[in-house]
Amino acid sequence: GDSVTQMEGPVTLSEEAFLTINCTYTATGYPSLFWYVQYPGEGLQLLLKATKADDKGSNKGFEATYRKETTSFHLEKGSVQVSDSAVYFCALSDIGRGSTLGRLYFGRGTQLTVWP
């Protein structure tokens, strides 16, 4: 079945460091891929998404490229800030290409802490 494997944390970085959080997926169809973020005390928010191979999603300085050949969707940011401290979840959805279910499959989440 569909699944997401996400780099385990926690990840601790200094401000302005480069961030990579790895995510790989298994899917039988043509999934859409997402990164969600959960800030302390808040609900899940969509950070970025990509709906087909080679698409790049970007938002707030974060980027991720949908790589079908490596079944990956790694999250990157060139210079993290203290305000980026949160839990990041990689997810896939099987909606598309005729499927209407749209359920999300999430990874376990990666806790990111950025120190000033």
Figure out which of the listed residues 20, 46, 54, 79 binds another protein, where binding follows CB under 8 A: 46
Instruction: Tell me which residues in 53-112 interact with another protein (CB under 8 A).
Output: 89, 91, 93, 95-96, 100-109
Q: Which two tokens stand for residue 39?
A: 């800030």
Figure out which of the listed residues 22, 44, 67, 85 binds another protein, where binding follows CB under 8 A: 44
Count of residues in contact with another protein, rule CB under 8 A: 27
Distance CA 56, CA 110 (A): 21
What's the closest the beta carbon of residue 109 comes to another protein, in angstroms? 5
Distance CA 70, CA 89 (A): 19
Q: Which is nearer to another protein, 17 or 104 (CB)?
A: 104
Query: 29 — phi, psi (to 5°)?
Result: -105, -135
Q: Which is nearer to another protein, 45 or 81 (CB)?
A: 45
Q: Which is nearer to another protein, 20 or 45 (CB)?
A: 45
Distances (CA, A) of 49 to 10, 18, 31: 23, 20, 11
Query: 75 — phi, psi (to 5°)?
Result: -90, 135
Counting DSSP H helices and E strands in the chain, the numbers are 0, 12
Q: Which residues here bind another protein, judged by CB under 8 A?
A: 4, 6, 32, 34, 36, 42-46, 49, 51, 89, 91, 93, 95-96, 100-109
